[in-house]
Amino acid sequence: MTGEPHGKTLLALTRGDPSGIGPELALKAWAALHQDPEAPAFLIAAEPDHLAALAQRLRLAVPIEPIGAATDAAALFRRALPVLDSKLTVKGKPGSPHAEDAAGTIASIETCVNLVKAGAAAAIVTNPIAKEVLYRAGFPHPGHTEFLGALAERLYQSSVRPVMLLWSPELAVVPATIHIALKDVPARLTTDLLVETGRIVAHDFRQRFGLAHPRLAFTGLNPHAGEGGAMGREEIDVIAPALAQLKAAGIDVSGPHPADTLFDAKARKTYDVVIAMYHDQALIPIKTIAFAHAVNVTLGLPFIRTSPDHGTAFAIAGQGVADPSSLIEALRLAGRLANECPAR
């Protein structure tokens, strides 16, 4: 990516769970970015009164400007935080979420996706949600990523397979399986799944990140990548056939590699992204290396979506101590991706 100025790019930020740290992060992100001419402008789909009260309580000098449409939000951003008014009232308190707020959390996501679909915003950035709160309200999706995939299929009328990427300048990782029990991973790990994941990652690294020939490194599933079958056959029976198919398609892949030697500084110079076999195999190294500034990016969607690489942090919500670094990086990355590699 070239690093060209992208200050005229407007992003749509969701509110996340209003009882978590999302609203505080949004206020702090505006304070950090609104005077930077190269930073992307953003609006947030939320409740103006709730944000204004929080800013006052935390003594954050953030003017709140309710808006009814995205028009002119980019210009407004330089002097106030544009809030696309949900016309709702937040029921929960900081650190104490309320099930009645789930509808507003879902509506905020839908609103932001619709803005991108309509061309009113260039990308969507999502604040953290609390899945257990949404589940109590009947939310049928395993998580954020799956919900965005369902919205994309409905709005864009095309088949979608979302892929989770955790990105930082130091390391990029993709978990092939995500929010499932560890005991279920071997059964869900198929050659077809790995081939599809590899194709999506390679495509989006070319189209979104501007890498002409992205290098994909695959981990093994078992210790020592199976040790030639002595510690498991998934590397032989599942992973190696997937790599052969990807190589035949012209994609630069390597592996399966032992996961315990793939993430040191020297090894990271040999690839652009790691495709790991399960959630923690991917997320432990990137959260160790780049916890404060890693960004969650959803690949495989017809629009750009980023988010901070952390949760709602109810334990510290409303205390003024939440670190906005990851959200700021998510906004900056979304702006760069939207500016240089527009949505498909």
Q: 222 among the known binding-site residues?
A: no
Q: 191 among the known binding-site residues?
A: no
Residue 168: alpha-carbon gap to chain centroid: 12
Q: 224 among the known binding-site residues?
A: yes
SS3 letters across 17-35:
CCCCCHHHHHHHHHHHHCC
Q: 50 among the known binding-site residues?
A: no
Pairing of strands 10-14, 163-167: unpaired
Pairing of strands 81-85, 64-67: parallel
Q: 98 among the known binding-site residues?
A: no
130 contacts 17 by C-beta, under 8 angstroms:
yes
Both structure tokens of 172? 């990029």
Q: 6 among the known binding-site residues?
A: no
Q: 287 among the known binding-site residues?
A: yes
* Annotated binding residues for substrate: 144-145, 287, 296, 305
* Annotated binding residues for a divalent metal cation: 179, 224, 279
* Annotated binding residues: 144-145, 179, 224, 279, 287, 296, 305
